[in-house]
Chain A
Amino acid sequence: MKTIEFQAIYVMWLREMKRFLRSKSRIVVTIIQPLLFLFILGSGFSTISMPGLDVDYMHFFAPGIVTMSILFSSMFAGVSILWDKQFGFLQEVLVAPVSRISIIIGRTFGGATTALAQGFIILIIAIAIGTPVSGVIGLMLTIIFMILIAFSAVGFGLILASKMRDFQSFPIIMNLIVMPLLFLSSAFFPVTQNETMKTIAFFNPIFYMVDGLRGSLVGTNNVFHPIIDLGVVLLVCIIMLFLGSYLFSKSEA
Chain B
Amino acid sequence: MDIIKTTDLTKKFDKLTAVENVNFTVKKGEIFGFLGPNGAGKTTTIKMLTTLLNPTEGTATIAGFDIIKQRNQVRQNIGIVFQEPALDIELTGEENLEYHARMYGMGKDKRKKRIEEVLDLVDLQEKRKVLVKNYSGGMKRRLEIARGLMHYPTVLFLDEPTLGLDAQTRRAIWEYIKKMNKEEQTTIFLTTHYMDEADYLCDRVGIIDHGKILVMDDIINLKNSVGKDVITLACDDLNKLKNKLEEEKWISKIKQHDDTLTLGVEKGDEKIPITIEIAQKINVKIKSISVRKPTLDDVFLAYTGRTIRSDEQKINSVNSMPPRFRGGHH
Give 1 or 0 for each of B84-122: 1 = CB within 8 Å of chain A CB: 111111110001000110111100000000000000000
A8 to B86: give the CA distance in the assembly, Å: 17
- The listed residue (B78, B91, B104) touching A18 by CB distance below 8 A is B91
Q: Contact between B105 and A95 (Cβ–Cβ < 8 Å)?
A: no
- Of residues 241 through 282 on chain B, the ones whose CB sits less than 8 Å from some CB of chain A are none
**A8-B103, A10-B102, A89-B86 as given contacts; A95 in contact with B91, CB under 8 Å:** no
Q: Which of A3, A90, A93 has a CB less than 8 Å from the CB of B105?
A: A3
CB atoms of A97 and B75 under 8 A apart: yes
Q: Interface digits, A8-19 against B, CB 8 Å rule (1 contact, 0 not)? A: 101100110011
Assuming A87-B89, A91-B80, what are 8 further A-B pairs, CB within 8 angstroms?
A18-B91, A87-B85, A88-B87, A94-B52, A95-B51, A96-B103, A96-B104, A97-B76
A22 and B90 form a contact (CB under 8 A): yes
* A92 closest partner in B (C-beta): B86
B316 at the interface (CB under 8 A from A): no
- Establish whether residues B90 and A95, one from each chain, have CB atoms under 8 Å apart when the complex forms: no
Which residues of chain A have C-beta atoms less than 8 A from B73's C-beta? Answer: 97
Known: A19-B90, A95-B75. A88 touches B82 (CB 8 A): yes
A204 within 8 A of B: no
Q: What's the minimum C-beta distance from A210 to chain B, rounded to whole angstroms?
A: 33
Enumerate chain B residues within 8 angstroms of A10, measured Cβ to Cβ.
102
Q: List chain A residues, Cβ under 8 A from B69.
A: none
Max count, chain B CB within 10 A of own CB: residue among A3, A87, A92, A94: A92
What does the 1/0 interface line of B50-91 toward A look like (CB < 8 Å)? 111000000000000000000011011010101011111111
Interface residues on A, range: 20 to 34
In the bound complex, what is the Cα–Cα distance between A241 and B226 (angstroms)?
61
A43 is an interface residue with CB less than 8 A from chain B: no
Q: Does B15 sit at the interface, judged by CB under 8 A?
A: no
Does A196 have its Cβ within 8 Å of any Cβ on chain B? no
CA distance A97 to B103 in the complex (A): 7
Complex contacts, B325 vs chain A, CB 8 Å: 86
In whole angstroms, what is the CA distance A22 to B130 when docked? 13
B313: shortest Cβ distance to chain A, in Å?
27
| Chain B residues positioned under 8 Å from A88 (CB to CB) | 82, 84-87
Cβ contact within 8 Å between A11 and B90: no
Residues A1-33 near B (CB distance < 8 A): 3-4, 7-8, 10-11, 14-15, 18-19, 22-23
Give the top 8 A-B pairs by smallest Cβ distance, nearest first: A88-B86, A4-B105, A97-B75, A96-B103, A92-B86, A88-B84, A97-B76, A97-B72
- Report chain B residues within 8 Å CB of A90: 86
Task: Contact check, A15 vs B51: say whether CB atoms are below 8 A apart.
Answer: no
CB neighbours (8 Å) of B103 from chain A are 4, 7-8, 11, 93, 96-98
Beyond A3-B105, A86-B325, is A11–B99 a contact (Cβ under 8 Å)? yes
Q: Is B327 an interface residue (CB 8 A)?
A: yes
How many of B's residues come within 8 Å of A, CB to CB?
30
**Is B329 an interface residue when CB atoms closer than 8 A count as contact?**
yes
- CB neighbours of B95 from chain A (8 A): 18
Query: Would A19 and B104 count as touching, CB distance under 8 A?
Result: no
Given contacts A96-B75, A97-B105, contact A91 B86 (CB under 8 A): yes
Bound-state Cα–Cα, A96 to B151, Å: 11
Nearest A residue to B83 by beta-carbon distance? A88
23 interchain pairs (CB within 8 A)? A4-B103, A7-B102, A11-B103, A15-B91, A18-B90, A18-B91, A19-B88, A19-B90, A19-B91, A86-B325, A87-B86, A87-B89, A88-B86, A91-B52, A92-B87, A92-B100, A95-B75, A95-B78, A95-B80, A96-B75, A96-B103, A97-B103, A97-B104
| Residues from chain B with Cβ under 8 Å of A98 in the complex | 103
A12 to chain B minimum Cβ distance, whole angstroms, is: 9
Residues of A within 8 A of B87 (CB): 88-89, 92
Closest chain A residue, CB of each to CB of B91: A18
Between A8, A86, A97, the greatest number of chain B beta carbons within 10 A of the residue's beta carbon is seen for: A97
Knowing A23-B90, A86-B327, A91-B82, the reply to whether A14 touches B99 (Cβ < 8 A) is yes
Q: Which of B311-330 touch A at CB < 8 Å? A: 325, 327, 329
Q: How far is the CB of B108 from chain A (nearest CB, A)?
A: 11
Q: In whole angstroms, what is the CA distance A18 to B96 when docked?
A: 12
Measured in the bound complex, the distance between the Cα atoms of B90 and A14 in whole Å is 13
Instruction: Find the A residue at minimum CB distance from B81.
Output: A92
**CB neighbours of B89 from chain A (8 A):** 87
CB pair A95 B50 closer than 8 Å: yes
**CA separation between A11 and B85, bound complex, in Å?**
20
Q: What distance in Å separates the Cβ of A201 from its nearest Cβ neighbour in chain B? A: 39
Task: List which A80-124 residues lie within 8 A (CB) of chain B.
Answer: 86-98
Given the complex, which residues of B lie within 8 Å of A14, measured CB to CB?
99
Q: Which residues of B contact A19 (CB under 8 A)?
A: 88, 90-91
Shortest distance in angstroms between A114's beta carbon and chain B's nearest beta carbon? Answer: 13
Once bound together, how far apart are the Cα atoms of A97 and B63, in whole Å? 15
Give Cα A89 to B91, complex, Å: 12
Q: Shortest distance in angstroms between B288's beta carbon and chain A's nearest beta carbon?
A: 46
Please provide the chain A residues from 151 to 193 with a CB less than 8 Å away from any CB of chain B in the complex: none
Shortest Cβ gap from B287 to chain A (Å): 48
CB distance from B44 to the nearest CB of A (A): 14
